[in-house]
Amino acid sequence: MAAMLARHLPSLADRVPAREPSDEEVREAAKTEPALRDAAALRGQIPMISNNKARRILGWPPRWRRRSPTPPTA
């Protein structure tokens, strides 16, 4: 993810973490940082993510994958 952001937003690349924290680092940080507790509990799992419900119920068309991480142009 960091590499993709750096490629599309080079002016902000220095603000993106260069490495992913280890499972142990996340678990340690979750002891004092409530926002990391859910992330610590889910480490190592691969989530099954789908937009089928949004398509089916709302008629929502997803954006192209290549365009998703880039900000809208003003």
pLDDT tens-place values along the chain, 74 residues long: 777 777 888 888 788 777 888 888 888 988 998 888 888 888 777 778 888 888 889 888 877 655 555 555 55
* Residue bearing tokens 């949004």: 54
* Residue bearing tokens 């691969």: 46
Task: Check residue 19 and give its pLDDT.
Answer: 81
Supply φ then ψ for residue 17, to 5 degrees.
-55, 140
Which tokens belong to 68? 């998703």
Residues 62 and 55: beta-carbon distance below 8 Å: yes
- Tell me the whole-structure pTM to 2 decimals: 0.44
- CA-based nearest residue to 68, from 17, 5, 3: 5
